[in-house]
Amino acid sequence: MRSQKFTLKNTDDATASRIAADHPADWDMERVFERSYGKFLGAQSQNGTALISETAGDTLEFTEAETSPAKKGLRISRFGGIAAAACIVAEILLIRAICISPDRSETPDNVDIIPAFTRETEGTDGASTAPADAPTDAVTEAISTEKATEPAAEDMTEEITQEITEDNTEESPENDLENDDEAEPEDAPSEESPARETGFTVSKGTYTGSGLTEGFDEIRYTPEHEIPEIINHSCDPEGYMVLSRNEKSGFTEIQLLDTNDGSLYFLTVFAYDSFRTGFDPASGTEPEYLEIGGRPAIYRRDSGDDNAFGYLIWDDGCHVAMLMAEQKNYAEMISIAENFK
C-alpha cells in the first residue's frame, strides 16, 4: 500500500493561512513584547544615550568620555551587546515583576541551622516561607552539592512532525499512557517545620508570582547569616566597568561592562533574608549547584541554546547576588562572582 505522509508543520501555504487565522499565535506575547522593547532600549543605549532603564534618573550616562579608558578593544558585539542588553532588560523587567520576593518575619529566632548543600530526604520550609497561595502538596527537593542534571520530563527535542501513514498499523501501546500518568510527580505533603532551613531549595510547581503558577518551579535561597544593610555594598571587579548602579528598595542593581569584549552583565544584590525566583522547568536546564570561593551558588540556563540566558545566584558572604548573562559567558560570570567583594 502506498504510504501518504500527513504533516501539519510543513503544510502548504493556503492551509497554513487557514490554520493561522483559526488559531492565531497569541500566547505569551507579553514576554515577546518585553524582548522587543528590550532590544529597542539596547539599541538606544548603543547610540550613546542613556543606558537601558526607564528610570532615567537612576542611570548613569554612557558616553565616550567615560568609556575612553577602556575604549581600546571595546566591542559591542551583536550577542555581547544588543542581545545581552535586550535580554537583560527583558529579564530584569520580568524578574522585577514576578521573580523577586523577600520573605521576612515568618522565620523563628530559635532556628536549627541546616548547612547549605546537604541532602534532605524530606521536609521543607514550605509551611513557613511559601506564599499563602502556594500549593500545600508541593514536592520540595533539598539540594546537594551533586549536580542536578536529570533530564527534563519531556524530551525538548521531541520530533514535531507527526506522520500518519495509511499503512501504519502500529499504535502507541496503552501502557505508554500509563507510563505517562506515572510520570506525574507524586505529591508528597510537606511537613510543617519550625526550623529555618538555609541554602537552596527547588520546589516543584510552587512558584506563585504575577499569575504564574502551574508548571513553574521555584528556587529559594535562604542564607545562614543575618542580613546586613546593602546600601554601601561595593562592586568593582577588575576588567569591568560599572555602567549603572541603582539603589532600589531592598536591593541594588549594578550593570557591568566587560571592557575586553563589551559584554554586558546585570548584577542584582539582595539584602533579603531569603529570596525566590520562579522558572519554567519546561524551557530551561536543571539547576546546577556549585561552590564559588567556598560559597554556595546555583546556575541555570533558560534553555539548552548556547546563547540562552543564564542566571548565576550565589551567596557572597553577606548578601544574595544574582548575575545574568548569556550562557557563553559562563566562565566570566564565575570570575565576577569569585571577585565580588
Partner 1 sequence: MTEAELRSAVSSSQKDGFRLIFQQYQSYVYSVVWGRIRSVGTAEDAEECVSDVFADVFIHYNDINEGSLHGFIATAAKRTAIDRFRRLSAAKGIPIEDEELSMIPSEEDIPRDAETAERNARLYEAVKSLGEPDSTIVIQKYFYDRRSPDIAKDVGMTPTAVRVRLNRALKKLKRLIDADSP
**Is 154 a residue that touches partner 1 (CB under 8 A)?**
yes
Q: Are strands 199-204 and 309-315 parallel, antiparallel or unpaired?
A: unpaired
Identity of the residue, 9 or 72, whose beta carbon is nearer to partner 1 in the bound complex:
9
Residues of this chain, 214-233, that bind partner 1 according to CB under 8 A: 214-215
DSSP structure string for 262-327: --EEEEEEE--S-EEEEE-TTSSPPPEEEEETTEEEEEEESSSSTT-EEEEEEE-SSSEEEEEEEG
Are 125 and 197 contacting, i.e. CB atoms less than 8 angstroms apart? yes
In angstroms, the CA 51 to CA 76 distance is 14
C-alpha cell at 288: 546546577
Residues of this chain, 46-85, that bind partner 1 according to CB under 8 A: 54
Identity of the residue, 28 or 109, whose beta carbon is nearer to partner 1 in the bound complex:
28
Angle CA(142)–CA(265)–CA(52) in degrees, nearest 5?
120
In angstroms, the CA 325 to CA 32 distance is 18
Q: Whole-number minimum distance, CB 240 to partner 1, in Å?
A: 26
DSSP structure string for 15-72: HHHHHHHHS---SSHHHHHHHHHHHHHHHHHHTTSS-S-S-GGGS----HHHHGGGTT
In angstroms, the CA 43 to CA 255 distance is 16
**Is 187 a residue that touches partner 1 (CB under 8 A)?**
no
Q: How far is CA 311 from CA 57, 87, 322, 323, in A?
A: 27, 12, 7, 6
User: Which of 61, 176, 187, 291: binder of partner 1 (CB under 8 A)?
Assistant: 176
User: Which of 50, 51, 89, 177: binder of partner 1 (CB under 8 A)?
Assistant: 177
Identity of the residue, 183 or 231, whose beta carbon is nearer to partner 1 in the bound complex:
183
Binding mask 83-122 for partner 1 (x = CB under 8 A): ---x------------------------------------
Q: Whole-number minimum distance, CB 86 to partner 1, in Å?
A: 7
Q: Whole-number minimum distance, CB 85 to partner 1, in Å?
A: 11
Are 188 and 137 contacting, i.e. CB atoms less than 8 angstroms apart? yes
- The one segment of 33-41, 61-69, 105-113, 138-146 that binds partner 1 by CB under 8 A: 33-41
User: Which of 43, 60, 70, 318: binder of partner 1 (CB under 8 A)?
Assistant: 43
Q: Whole-number minimum distance, CB 158 to partner 1, in Å?
A: 8
Place of cell 539548552: 304
Identity of the residue, 54 or 338, whose beta carbon is nearer to partner 1 in the bound complex:
54
Binding mask 268-307 for partner 1 (x = CB under 8 A): ------------xxxx-------------------x-x--
Identity of the residue, 40 or 291, whose beta carbon is nearer to partner 1 in the bound complex:
40
Q: Whole-number minimum distance, CB 193 to partner 1, in Å?
A: 28
**Is 188 a residue that touches partner 1 (CB under 8 A)?**
no
Q: How many of the other CB atoms lie within 10 Å of CB of 300? A: 22
**Is 40 a residue that touches partner 1 (CB under 8 A)?**
yes
The residues, ordered by sequence, that sit 6+ positions from 82 with a Cβ below 8 Å of its Cβ are 39, 42, 43, 46, 76
Compute the residue count for the chain: 341
Number of residues that bind partner 1 (CB under 8 A): 62
Binding site for partner 1 (CB under 8 A): 4, 6-29, 32-33, 35-37, 39-40, 43-44, 54, 86, 153-154, 156, 158, 160-162, 164, 166, 168, 171-172, 176-177, 180-181, 183-184, 214-215, 280-283, 303, 305
